[in-house]
Structure formats: structure tokens, C-alpha cells
Chains A and B, each alone.
Chain A
Amino acid sequence: MPEKLKKMIGVVMLVCAVGGVSCVGLLGPSVDRVMNSGSDVKVVE
């Protein structure tokens, strides 16, 4: 694998892994709120 491509893949992996955890940390409560908001909806037949 060419060295430059390897470095690019490495940077993308780093950004996704480290940034991903940070993003989930930041957006986690909002995501939970959105997910939980649907639990109160009752389907009436």
C-alpha cells in the first residue's frame, strides 16, 4: 500500500474513532430524547 494512502486512511480512521466518540458524547442525550419521545405514542386501531 502506498505510504500516502496509508496515512490518509489512518487519519480518516483516527478522526472517525476519536471524533465519533466525542460526537456520541455531545449528541447522546439529544439522541436519547428523540428516541424516547416516540415511546409515548400509542397506536390506536
Chain B
Amino acid sequence: MSQLKRGGAKQGELKRGGAKRYDPDKARQLPGARAFLLYLLPMPMLFVALWRMLGGNTSSALGFALCFALCMVAATLVRNGLSIEQEAKRRKIVRRSSTVPYKLIGAGVLGGAIFIGAALGAKIAFFSSVLLGIAAAVGAVFTYGTDPSRNAPDMPAVGVTSEEVLEILNEADEKIVAIEAARDRIHNVEMKDRLKNIVKGVREITDIVEDDPRDLRRARKFLRTYLDGAQRVTEGYADTHKYGDNGELEDNFRNVLETIENVIEEQKGKLLENNLTELDVQIEVLQMQLEKEGV
């Protein structure tokens, strides 16, 4: 039944044409910006460590230095966890490496760091140091949340791993960004429109693959070979085009774009046809099951 629902959703999404725009810069900035507090808060400890060292209090200086270093490790771990969480939200497929609970480990390391800083550096009583450590760890968990599900969906029946699917989808996203960048340098309105259609079509195909990674087997060649070719041709045309218009070059480029558009349509058709066939088979199986059980 879940298969039926998935097939239905896929077609609905295509009708809406709700292709997402990939913004690699935004994707990279957010986790860093969110873990900024964890990098910023321990900064005074570095100065305290230096100050204590100059004052001849070596054990206290070492305590603060160790605390600062561990805080940086904790911040990096939490940042890594946030990055994986964000990718999981952006994509429907979770990377298998997210089985490591980075955020939880980061919170634990932060708790330990604060305990060391309080007990060894600031010479606070043992019990109070433990309380401060616990407060820091709980605070980190409350602020940054827990890690995404550990049971990342593996796809043994599909014949591809989630890592492979994500790698190909990320590569496709980068190629789309490159094509869009080259498109901005082209002034020919017709070519711009054609490239816009191509990008839209490619995004629809990546959405289909993301919804159902089994389609990767059929779309892999397109996403690797054809998209790579489209990127190279578009960049080449954008570079040559700035030196002036050339009729023959434009005709050739137009032909290439037409071919790519046709390939995209064929590819989409194949993927949808395959889903419809699957749907038919599932309906038949369901009918047989219902007849057998006398419903």
C-alpha cells in the first residue's frame, strides 16, 4: 500500500512542477551559523589560560586550555551533526553515516570540558563542577536537539546505497548550478528559455529519483553522462558567445539543446511509465489478494 501512495505522490509533485532550487552556499552556511554560540562562548577561556600561565598558575592554565580545546571539539561535532540533519531535511534520503550521534557525543564532550574547566581551571568544588558539566551538556541537547533517526533507511532491495544516491544527486545539483551560472552569461533569449526548461526537467528527474531511489538505475546514465555533456556544452557556448554572435555556432547549440530536451522528456516518460507499470502490477496483486480473502 505504501508503494501505491508513493507512486501517487510522485505524479502529484510532477504536476505541480514543484522543483526545489538548490542553494549550496545556504546549505553550507546554516549549520555553522547555528553552532556559532558553541565556538564563541569558550573564547574567554583561551585568554584566561594565557593569563594564568603568565601568572605562574600552571595547573589552572592547563585546565582552562584543555577545557577550551574540548569545547572546540564539541562545537565541531555538533556542527557536523547539524550539517547531517540539514541534509536529511533537504533530501528525503538520510546518509548512513548519521548512525553516529554527533550532536549527542558533542554534548557529552562539552559537559566533560566544562567539568575539567571548572574543577581544574577555576578550582570550583567537585560537586558544583559536576553540576556545571551536566548543565552544559543538557543545554547543548536542548539548544541543538538530538540526532536524526539512527536507523537510516538502507536500500538493499534497490541495489544502490543511500550514499551512492546522495552522491549522484549532489553531483547533479552541482551541474545544474553550473548550467544556471553559464545561462546567466548568455544573452540570447531563446537559448536562455531552452536552458531554463532543461534545468526544470533535470530537477524533476532528480525529484523522481529522490522519491524512489529504484529509478536511479534508469536515470544514472542521464544524470552522469548527458548532464555532464549539457554542462560542458553550455559553458563552452557561454564562453564563446561573449566574443560575438556566430550563426553556425548558434545553430549547433540549438540542435544540442533540442536533443537534450528530447532526452529529458524521454527519460521522464520512461520513469513515469515504469511507475505506472508498477502501479498496475500492485493493483492486480491487491485485487487477487482481496478475491482470495473473499472481501
Give residues of chain A (1-36) contacting chain B, Cβ–Cβ below 8 Å.
6-7, 9-26, 28-29
B202-218, CB under 8 A of A: which get 1 and which 0?
00000000000000000
Would you call A18 and B71 a contact (CB within 8 A)? yes
Would you call A25 and B142 a contact (CB within 8 A)? no
Residue of B nearest to A25 (CB): B48
Give residues of chain B (128-164) contacting chain A, Cβ–Cβ below 8 Å.
132-133, 135-136, 138-144
Would you call A21 and B135 a contact (CB within 8 A)? no
Residue of B nearest to A26 (CB): B48
Q: Which residues of B contact A7 (CB under 8 A)?
A: 142-143
Would you call A10 and B114 a contact (CB within 8 A)? no
A11 CA / B142 CA spacing, docked (Å): 8
Range, interface on chain B: 20 to 34
Q: Which residues of A contact B132 (CB under 8 A)?
A: 17, 20-21
Would you call A11 and B37 a contact (CB within 8 A)? yes
A43 CA / B60 CA spacing, docked (Å): 34
Q: Which residues of A contact B110 (CB under 8 A)?
A: 18
Would you call A17 and B48 a contact (CB within 8 A)? no
Min C-beta distance of A29 to chain B, whole Å: 7
Residue of B nearest to A32 (CB): B123
B123 touches which one: A6, A17, A22, A28 (CB < 8 A)? Answer: A28
Residue of A nearest to B64 (CB): A25
Once A13-B135, A14-B37, A15-B41 are accepted as A-B contacts, the answer to whether A21 and B140 lie under 8 Å apart by CB is no
Residue of B nearest to A3 (CB): B145
- Say yes or no: is B227 at the interface (Cβ < 8 Å to chain A): no
A28 CA / B11 CA spacing, docked (Å): 66
A21 touches which one: B38, B122, B143 (CB < 8 A)? Answer: B122
**Residue among B122, B123, B133, B140 with the most chain A CB within 10 A?**
B122
Residue of A nearest to B140 (CB): A14
A11 CA / B122 CA spacing, docked (Å): 22
A14 touches which one: B51, B124, B136 (CB < 8 A)? Answer: B136
Once A10-B143, A22-B42 are accepted as A-B contacts, the answer to whether A16 and B135 lie under 8 Å apart by CB is yes
Min C-beta distance of B106 to chain A, whole Å: 12
- Say yes or no: is B44 at the interface (Cβ < 8 Å to chain A): yes
A10 CA / B139 CA spacing, docked (Å): 4
Q: Which residues of B contact A10 (CB under 8 A)?
A: 138-144
Q: A7-B142, A9-B142, A10-B138 are in contact. List 5 more A-B contacts (CB 8 A).
A: A10-B143, A11-B142, A11-B143, A15-B139, A26-B44
Subset of 8 A-B contacts with CB under 8 Å: A9-B139, A14-B38, A14-B41, A17-B114, A17-B135, A19-B44, A22-B41, A22-B45
Report A's interface with B, CB cutoff 8 A: 6-7, 9-26, 28-29
